[in-house]
Amino acid sequence: MKLRKVTAAAAVVLSFAVTATACGSSKDDNSGSGGGKKITIGIKFDQPGLGLKKPDGSYSGFDVDIASYVAKQLGYTAKDIEWKETPSADRENALSRGDVDFIVASYSITPEREQKVSFAGPYLLAHQDLLVRSDEKVTKGTDLNGKKLCSVTGSTSAQNVKEQIAPKAQLREYGTYSECLDGLIGGAVDALTTDDSILAGYAAQDQYQGKVKLAGLKLSNENYGIGIKKGDTKLKGQIDDALKKMVSDGAWEKAVKDNFGPANYKNEPAPKIGDIVK
């Protein structure tokens, strides 16, 4: 009689444990079926037009639109997305640590990076360009000789221009692109250089419209890809399929116009998946 009581009690405990375990796994399982499950996506928080965290806590930008569309195709709703800031220097580490499921953050595909992470896409072909005052005329890179060129501290963009295109340019390095822009409008510098998509995002902001413009020079090719953990071929295939659908249904073109339109950004057509322009 005692044995039957103990056995029955144990059965109840075991049943409760199994039920609790099942409930717990449904909250943490990122299987892509939605229903309250979460997916963590890395973006930039400080790039207008690409990835920006706004004062009200919401997010906007082309990269955000790309990431949101992909997440939806994977089975997640907007409420299922956890956005995580991923600065350029920490992108590879964030993926290897498992801090994020994938990264959409003006992440150029390069052979060096492909040794550490895998990429889906590309989803945008950008180019290094110049942002100048609206009344300035810059038709070629050598026009910068003798001019004050600005970029953020540690950026390779300005060094590329100075070393390869305009060796007589006077390089000024500021802490942020916003400081460079203020210097450009105030006359302290003559041009700002980085990817044209980043420049277009700034130029599209209300406070800069009509004051600055893109020079339209294609000084380099930057193939933006979606970074995922190295070797995750399944997720890569799923994201590639989502990007193809985004292009075919017109959502890609809409995202370009919504985020870069006010800057008159002459974007390249949507790149073909796996087509890396050298």
Last residue of a domain, one of 176, 193, 214: 214
Please tell me whether residues 240 and 108 are part of one structural domain.
yes
Please tell me whether residues 122 and 258 are part of one structural domain.
yes
For residue range 126-178, what is the model confidence (pLDDT) as tens digits? Answer: 999 999 999 999 999 999 999 999 988 867 788 888 888 999 999 999 988 88
Please tell me whether residues 101 and 235 are part of one structural domain.
yes
Residue 8 pLDDT exceeds 80: no
Please tell me whether residues 164 and 209 are part of one structural domain.
yes
DSSP state of 108: B
Please tell me whether residues 110 and 229 are part of one structural domain.
yes
For residue range 176-231, what is the model confidence (pLDDT) as tens digits? Answer: 888 999 999 999 999 999 999 999 999 999 999 899 999 999 999 999 999 999 99
Please tell me whether residues 226 and 195 are part of one structural domain.
no
202 within a domain of the structure (yes/no): yes
Please tell me whether residues 77 and 135 are part of one structural domain.
no
Q: What is the CA radius of gyration of the chain?
A: 23
Angle, in degrees to the nearest 10, between helices 196-203 and 177-186: 60
233 within a domain of the structure (yes/no): yes
CATH number at residue 134: 3.40.190.10
- 131 phi/psi in degrees, rounded to 5: -110, 125
User: What region does 94 belong to: left with phi over 0, alpha with psi -120 to 50, or beta?
Assistant: alpha
Q: Which domain holds residue 206?
A: 128-214
Please give the model's pTM, rounded to 2 decimal places: 0.82
Instruction: Specify the number of domains making up the chain.
Output: 2
